[in-house]
Structure 1
Amino acid sequence: MANAQCACGALRLMLSEPPQLTALCHCLACQRRTGAPFSANAFYSIGCVEISGTSTEFIRTAESGRKVRMHFCPTCGSTVYWKADAAPSWIGVAVGSLADPAFAPPALSVYEQSKHHWVQLDETVEHFQGSVSG
């Protein structure tokens, strides 16, 4: 069982199963959300996630045109999880909120069309210029 939380600890997730998928995203929205050149994401079956604490929801329209509902701590501002209309049975979790250096490496790297040129990923990661479907 894994735990994820915001920086101040007020918003927490209990994860009772391993992730279904791990991925890096280089889209501009993720760069702005994280303040980093890409986001590291783990996707869990929504049924294995127990959420405690209060979150503020920010809804944005993804490049696909569908809604993504970002949940962040109203106290410290950390984005801990999100739900995408495109994948209603999954919940996305920021890998950094798990604070586990041994966490599984990413299987995919998406939206590499906007990847910073100095970011180097090895051949064990599957590469996509856009989304997995694009």
Structure 2
Amino acid sequence: MERRATCHCGQLLLRCTGEPSKVSLCHCFDCQRRTGSLFSVAAFFPRECVTVIAGTAKVFARASASGFDVAFHFCPECGSSLWWEPARMPHLAGVAAGAFEDSGFPVPEQAVWAEQRHTWLDLPLTEYARNPVKAPLKDADPD
């Protein structure tokens, strides 16, 4: 399967081949600031399956809440953060799930950094206080 992700203005275009290795929702404050929303949703693909096919990205690197650096690739025209490369998972690239314009995109498997989740937001996902190396806070399927 091939999917294409694009920034808001359309000048930056990615091709992602295959199915995502995982889809994850993140509640951390850094993702909240980056997206201007309550969370971000990332589709993680093997890095070799993500290719820029149009445009040029700018990069902003920062330490993440987990202590590992993350390099964010964004459009210099519209500012959309299209994909990122987490040092914690050097074999994967996270692509903004909303950039695929696909309402049938796979549902996130987990929610991470739930300790920073807005208290009124309740989602039917397995939650982890921080990263999934710890036990989940709640399981979406209690049976």
Pairing partner for 1:87 from 79, 82, 89: 89
Query: How far apart, CA to CA, are the structure 2 residues paired with 1:133 and 1:79?
Result: 26
- 1:103 corresponding residue in structure 2: 105
* CA root-mean-square deviation: 0.9
Query: How far apart, CA to CA, are the structure 1 residues paired with 2:30 and 2:65?
Result: 9
Query: How far apart, CA to CA, are the structure 2 residues paired with 1:83 and 1:45?
Result: 10
Whether the aligned pair in 1 keeps the contact of 2:30 and 2:65 (CA below 8 Å) is no
How far is the alpha carbon of 1:72 from its aligned partner?
Answer: 0.4
Aligned ranges for residues 1-12 of structure 1 at < 5 Å?
Answer: 1-12=2-13
Whether the aligned pair in 1 keeps the contact of 2:75 and 2:82 (CA below 8 Å) is yes
AA aligned to 1:70 is F
- 1:30 corresponding residue in structure 2: 31
Count of aligned pairs: 132
TM-score of the pair, normalised by structure 1: 0.95
Q: Which ranges of structure 2 fall in alignment gaps of 5 or more residues?
A: 135-143
Which of structures 1 and 2 has the larger relative contact order (alpha carbons within 8 angstroms, sep 6+)? 1
Question: Which structure has the larger Rg over C-alpha atoms?
Answer: 2
- 1:116 corresponding residue in structure 2: 118
* Matched position secondary structure for 1:88: coil
AA aligned to 1:105 is V
- 1:16 corresponding residue in structure 2: 17
How far is the alpha carbon of 1:64 from its aligned partner?
Answer: 2.2
AA aligned to 1:14 is R
- 2:139 corresponding residue in structure 1: none
TM-score of the pair, normalised by structure 2: 0.89
Identity %: 38
Query: How far apart, CA to CA, are the structure 2 residues paired with 1:35 and 1:129?
Result: 21
Query: How far apart, CA to CA, are the structure 2 residues paired with 1:88 and 1:36?
Result: 26
Q: Which ranges of structure 1 fall in alignment gaps of 5 or more residues?
A: none
